[in-house]
């Protein structure tokens, strides 16, 4: 029997599930219950031990199915779902004898996943057309700084409405940085990793300079984008609280995930983009303008990275701090790879990272006996697992990172 990736994963999940069931059966007081907050539906009590044993069995079952190759295309979604269930188990365990607000936590996960998802969309747009973009972090940071600065400056005259122009400025800043990257990597055929690194360093310097030279004097804590409840949908139990009672950039992210998927796989432009990313010479011979396609895609990606930057300074906090993007641009790339360069997959990856972050906070609040520094590591550890190719086989676009030389 050849040891393929699904089999390795299958064995891992099987062992994990058995351990979980055995541990819960042996060590958890059967009388203990966990109260789960489920939004407007109030709370639900679950018996801690029974739930954990059940989740352990489900985990083992998914492991067995993966081991015998029964999942095929459903492999990644199934394992992600099971992994989420295991995280739920972690919470039931941590909050046994007490309560935890489940819906609130899922809503927080979605919020925290937003910049990651947008960043991974930026990556998909670029890399599907064959340009590697590791400068997403820098584009986000510069956009956060410049968008906030514009908001600060214009709010003298426009008041709270200035924030929308600030958001536009953030988006355009991302686009501009991406154009810079595009010129370097398409026109001048610079090594794309170096160009991306330059953008990251440039953004740290430029945003730090902007803040010290101008923002520091203004002392300003700004408005943030308002919460918008989607009519009717916001009242759906559970889902309403998670998806439809958010601030604008979260909605934009959700729409852009769907839109990106549609454009990439169901339009002529998407077909051309993928052709350019897989085999630019073949695309060129059928009359597709490789350079133009790449330019446009990289800039569109930059606009999305800019929107992600706006999430930090304009939607969430209302101020700008140096390095406030905190590595989310790199996590976004991991989410993109996790999702195998597809929008929905990347969105799932982003959700996982967002959930891990929310979990880190929640487990501390529940006083779980796990060092919080270890929890801080979880998203990064997950990135390594993903990068090591343990989940599914990731196939980057064939021409990713290779400049096209017109023959």
Q: Looking at 201, 233, 259, 282, which residue binds other proteins (CB under 8 A)?
A: 201
Q: Are strands 99-101 and 33-37 parallel, antiparallel or unpaired?
A: parallel
Of residues 188 and 388, the one with the C-beta less far from other proteins: 188
Helices 162-182, 102-128: axis angle to 10 degrees equals 40
d(CA 364, CA 67): 35
Of residues 30 and 237, the one with the C-beta less far from other proteins: 237
Contact 63, 16 (CB under 8 A): yes
Name the minimum Å distance from CB 126 to other proteins: 18
Contact 254, 377 (CB under 8 A): no
| Segment lying near other proteins (by CB under 8 A), choices 157-165, 267-275, 320-328, 394-402 | 320-328
d(CA 208, CA 391): 38
d(CA 105, CA 234): 17
Q: Are strands 33-37 and 43-47 parallel, antiparallel or unpaired?
A: antiparallel
The yes or no reply on residue 194 touching other proteins (CB under 8 A) is yes
The yes or no reply on residue 238 touching other proteins (CB under 8 A) is no
Name the minimum Å distance from CB 355 to other proteins: 12
Of residues 108 and 162, the one with the C-beta less far from other proteins: 108
In the sheet where 99-101 sits, what is the strand order?
Answer: 43-47, 33-37, 99-101
Q: Looking at 84, 198, 239, 368, which residue binds other proteins (CB under 8 A)?
A: 198
Q: Burial code of 304-337, b = ≥16 C-beta within 10 A, e = fewer?
A: bbbbbbbbbbbbbbbbbeeebbeebbbbbbbbbb
Q: Looking at 372, 384, 389, 398, which residue binds other proteins (CB under 8 A)?
A: 372
Name the minimum Å distance from CB 365 to other proteins: 5
| Structure tokens, 398 | 């064939």
Number of residues that bind other proteins (CB under 8 A): 51
Backbone angles phi, psi at 100, to 5 degrees: -145, 140
Name the minimum Å distance from CB 293 to other proteins: 21
| Segment lying near other proteins (by CB under 8 A), choices 4-12, 58-66, 250-258, 317-325 | 317-325
The yes or no reply on residue 239 touching other proteins (CB under 8 A) is no
| Segment lying near other proteins (by CB under 8 A), choices 45-53, 210-218, 280-288, 294-302 | 210-218
| Structure tokens, 402 | 């290779």
Going by C-beta distance under 8 Å and a sequence separation of 6 or more, which residues neighbour residue 100? 34, 35, 36, 37, 91, 94, 362, 366
Name the minimum Å distance from CB 159 to other proteins: 13
Q: Burial code of 255-286, b = ≥16 C-beta within 10 A, e = fewer?
A: ebbeebbebbeeeeebebbbbbbbebeebbee
Give the residue from 314, 315, 316, 311 showing the smallest Cα distance to 332: 311
Q: Looking at 9, 83, 108, 113, which residue binds other proteins (CB under 8 A)?
A: 108
The yes or no reply on residue 41 touching other proteins (CB under 8 A) is no
The yes or no reply on residue 100 touching other proteins (CB under 8 A) is yes
Q: Looking at 82, 167, 178, 184, which residue binds other proteins (CB under 8 A)?
A: 184
d(CA 150, CA 205): 18
Q: Looking at 104, 270, 396, 401, which residue binds other proteins (CB under 8 A)?
A: 104
Q: Looking at 11, 12, 37, 368, which residue binds other proteins (CB under 8 A)?
A: 37
Binding site for other proteins (CB under 8 A): 37, 99-101, 104-105, 108, 111-112, 183-184, 187-190, 194-195, 198, 201-202, 204-206, 208-209, 211-212, 215-217, 219, 221, 312, 316-319, 321-324, 326, 357-358, 361-362, 364-365, 372-373, 376
């Amino acid at each position: 029997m050849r040891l393929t990736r699904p089999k390795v994963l299958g064995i891992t999940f099987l062992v994990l599930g058995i351990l979980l069931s055995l541990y819960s059966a042996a060590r958890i007081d059967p009388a203990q219950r966990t109260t789960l907050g489920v939004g407007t539906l109030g709370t639900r009590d679950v018996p801690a031990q029974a739930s954990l044993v059940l989740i352990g069995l489900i985990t083992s079952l998914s492991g067995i199915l993966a081991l015998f190759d029964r999942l095929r295309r459903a492999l990644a979604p199934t394992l992600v779902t099971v992994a989420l269930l295991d995280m739920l188990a972690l919470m039931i365990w941590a909050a046994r004898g007490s309560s935890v607000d489940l819906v609130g936590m899922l809503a927080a996960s979605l919020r925290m996943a937003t910049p990651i998802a947008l960043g991974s969309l930026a990556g998909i747009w670029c890399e599907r057309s064959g340009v590697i973009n590791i400068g997403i972090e820098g584009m986000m940071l510069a956009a956060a700084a410049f968008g906030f600065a514009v908001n600060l400056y214009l709010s003298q005259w426009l008041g709270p409405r200035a924030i929308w122009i600030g958001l536009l400025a953030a988006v355009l800043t991302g686009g501009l940085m991406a154009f810079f990257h595009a010129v370097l990597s398409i026109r001048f055929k610079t090594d794309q990793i170096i160009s991306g690194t330059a953008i990251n360093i440039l953004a740290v310097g430029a945003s730090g300079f902007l803040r010290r030279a101008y923002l520091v004097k203004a002392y300003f804590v700004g408005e943030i984008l308002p919460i918008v409840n989607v009519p009717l949908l916001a009242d759906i139990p559970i889902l309403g609280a998670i998806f439809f009672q958010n601030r604008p950039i979260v909605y934009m992210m959700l729409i852009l995930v769907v839109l990106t998927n549609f454009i990439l796989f169901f339009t002529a432009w998407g077909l051309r983009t993928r052709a350019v990313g897989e085999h630019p010479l073949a695309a060129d011979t059928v009359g597709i303008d490789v350079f133009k396609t790449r330019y446009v895609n990289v800039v569109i990606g930059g606009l999305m990275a800019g929107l992600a930057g706006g999430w930090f300074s304009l939607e969430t906090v209302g101020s700008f701090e140096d390095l406030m993007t905190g590595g989310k641009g790199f996590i976004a790339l991991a989410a993109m790879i996790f999702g195998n360069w597809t929008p929905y997959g990347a969105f799932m990856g982003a959700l996982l990272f967002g959930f891990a972050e929310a979990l880190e906070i929640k487990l501390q609040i529940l006083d779980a006996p796990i060092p919080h520094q270890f929890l801080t590591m979880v998203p990064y550890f997950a990135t390594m697992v993903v990068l090591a190719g343990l989940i599914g086989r990731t196939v980057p676009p064939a021409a990713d990172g290779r400049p096209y030389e017109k023959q």
